[in-house]
Structures are given as C-alpha cells and as structure tokens.
Amino acid sequence: MAENIGTIFQWLIFLGMAFLSVLASFLVITRKNPIHSALFLVLTLLSVAVLYLLLYSQFIAIIQVVVYAGAIVMLIVFVIMLLDLEVELRSKLKIVYSKVIGGFLAILFLFGILYAVVAKSPTGKVGPYTPDKVSTNVKAVGEVLFTQYLFPFEIISILLVAAIIGAVILSKKRT
C-alpha cells in the first residue's frame, strides 16, 4: 500500500509538471513581449528540473536550475534590457504562408516522434546503475565524468574558454 501511494504521487507530480511545462512553453512562443517569454522560459526549465528529480537525477536537476534558469536566462533578460525593442512590440504579428507551412511540418514531425515512441519501447544495453544505487547520484556522476569521460570534459573546458574570449572580442569596440 505504501508503495502504491508513492507511485500515485509520482504520477500526480509527473502530470502536473508535464502540463505546466507544455503550457509555459506555449506561452514562451506566443507572448509578444520578450521579457514575458524569458520569464515563462524560466517556468518551463524549473518544471523540467522537477521531472529530472522524478527520474532520480539530482545532479542534472541542480545544474538545470543553476546554469539554465540562473545563468542563461539571466543573460537573455540582461540583453533584452540592453536593446530597445519598442518597435518590435508595436508591429503586428503577420500571418505568412511560410510560417503556416513551417508550423504544419513541425506538427507532422511531432506525429513522427509520437509514432516512433509508441511503436517500440526503448531497448539497449542495461548498465549497472539501478535507481537504488544512484541515490547518491552526484557521486556516481562524478565518478563516471572523471574516469570514462575525462577527455570530453577537458574539451568542454577549452570550448568554454573559447566562448568567453569570443564574447569579449565581439563586444569590444572597433578601433
């Protein structure tokens, strides 16, 4: 009985967060004011972070909140406030044929994904990390990251340095 209650709560959290994330992402793409879009993007990212917790991935959930909702969206909001977008706000949203066709193709693509998901359940080589073993998820992730994936990790640090230098050089005034 106790297990049953836990599963029911998992279902409730999953359905609530799924609904919230879809609603918030819909609002992201329909709001005219980019600041509102950015704030609804934060809501989407936070609800997806709760889903990560439901999947026993505490590490990626915390990184999601800190990096995505904290750093990236903060940067986006900062740039929106630097730019003067009043003209964009006043212009009407035009219905163009290319947009309708693009949206239609995207929905067709969604049906392709849904069919692929329903048709065959995911299979593959099952690893050693059962849910009760990753209760200390951060430790397990750290061990894998610093042994098996050490080289990609170093490459990522080089990429981040390149991005920092690129951003500084781009925003420097031309002499």
Contacts (CB under 8 A) with other proteins, residues 47-66 = 48, 51-52, 54-57, 59-60, 63-64
Task: Measure the CA–CA gap between 66 and 24, rounded to whole angstroms.
Answer: 19
The answer to whether 38 contacts other proteins (rule: CB under 8 A) is: yes
Please count the residues of this chain forming the interface with other proteins, following the rule CB under 8 A: 84
The answer to whether 2 contacts other proteins (rule: CB under 8 A) is: no
Which pairs count as long-range contacts for 54-62, CB under 8 Å and 24+ apart, including other chains?
Answer: 54/10, 54/13, 54/14, 54/17, 56/131, 56/134, 56/135, 56/137, 57/134, 57/137, 58/137, 58/138, 59/137, 59/138, 59/141, 60/141
The answer to whether 147 contacts other proteins (rule: CB under 8 A) is: no
Count CB neighbours of 50 within 10 A.
17
The answer to whether 135 contacts other proteins (rule: CB under 8 A) is: no
The answer to whether 76 contacts other proteins (rule: CB under 8 A) is: yes
The answer to whether 46 contacts other proteins (rule: CB under 8 A) is: no
Q: How far is the CB of 164 from other proteins (least distance, A)?
A: 7
The answer to whether 129 contacts other proteins (rule: CB under 8 A) is: yes
